[in-house]
Amino acid sequence: MEQQITELLETLNNYFQNVGSQPSVWEFIVTIICPIVSTLALVIGGGFAVYKYRAAQNYDINLKILNEVYMPLYSYLVKQETFRYVACAENSWDDLPILELKSTKTKFTWNANGQSFQTDTSTICGCDRDALISICENTNLGLASSELASLLNSYKVLCHIVKDNPTTKAHAKAQILLLKVEKALYEEIIRGYNHYHKKLKLHKSKNSLYKSNGKQITINLDVSEDEINAILDNQRCKDAE
């Protein structure tokens, strides 16, 4: 492309040098206008090709960032917010930005010494801190923002500290920091997801069920008490049959 621009400048220079020779209209068109138009067409065409190539590269990179960084984390938040809305709305985002969803079942058995029991705790829908840490470890941090990379690494360290020594100052300090990091992590996941969704022009596809205010994910749906009672009454009728 540089060579084509140079040729264009040389053509213009030759024209101005010979402008006093009064060439015919046909000579002017053949020797001056045609090379200029051809060169401009090549320059513009080359520039457009470079633009299209860079746009395709940017699209691929943005899609890779969305799929390998923000989508798995965002999906985790959608699962936990669905559960929060249905089963534990009393646990607000301010108090528990990251939920630990676990179910404990007790199994009673009889042996020679009498009755004994055994408890079994399982994670609901893969939503607990260990599951989130697993997602963090599989996140392509090379594509993540410095903010997200810092938060994910801090989150792993703080979760490790709060598991042990609950009476130490380090544990108390880690608990305080963990809440702050979880809030910042939650917001950064939403920010990044929305940012790359918009870059890929996917933001025009509206979701009538979920919405994000830039800080947290909420369920954009109202379930009335009458609807809930109708389901319960129907279930009671089935149980009575």
Per-residue 3-state assignment (H helix, E strand, C coil) for 44-63:
HHHHHHHHHHHHHHHHHHHH
Q: What confidence score (pLDDT) does residue 126 get?
A: 75
Q: Is 47 among the domain residues?
A: yes
Integer Rg of the chain from CA: 32
Question: Contact 77/217 with Cβ under 8 angstroms?
Answer: yes
Q: Is 59 among the domain residues?
A: no
3-state DSSP helix/strand/coil % of the chain, to nearest 5: 65, 10, 25
Q: Are residues 147 and 89 in the same domain?
A: yes
Q: Are residues 95 and 163 in the same domain?
A: yes
Q: Are residues 139 and 47 in the same domain?
A: no
Q: Are residues 106 and 74 in the same domain?
A: yes
Q: Are residues 90 and 49 in the same domain?
A: no
How many domains in the chain?
A: 2
Cβ neighbors of 216 (< 8 A, separation 6 or more) are 81, 93, 97, 186, 187, 190
Q: Is 237 among the domain residues?
A: no
Q: Are residues 29 and 79 in the same domain?
A: no
- 30 is in which domain, residue-wise? 2-54
Tell me the DSSP string of 121-180. Answer: EEESTT-SHHHHHHHHHTS-TTTS-HHHHHHHHHHHHHHHHHTS-TTSHHHHHHHHHHHH
Q: Which residues of the chain have pLDDT under 50?
A: 20, 53
Tokens of 55: 């746009």
Q: Are residues 90 and 153 in the same domain?
A: yes
Question: Contact 118/107 with Cβ under 8 angstroms?
Answer: yes
Q: Is 63 among the domain residues?
A: no
Beta-bridge mates of residue 107: 118
The greatest distance separating any two alpha carbons of the chain, rounded to the nearest whole angstrom, comes to 121
Q: Are residues 191 and 151 in the same domain?
A: yes
Q: Are residues 28 and 88 in the same domain?
A: no
Whole-angstrom Cα distance, residue 82 to residue 93? 13
Q: Are residues 48 and 111 in the same domain?
A: no
Q: Are residues 12 and 111 in the same domain?
A: no
Q: Are residues 77 and 160 in the same domain?
A: yes
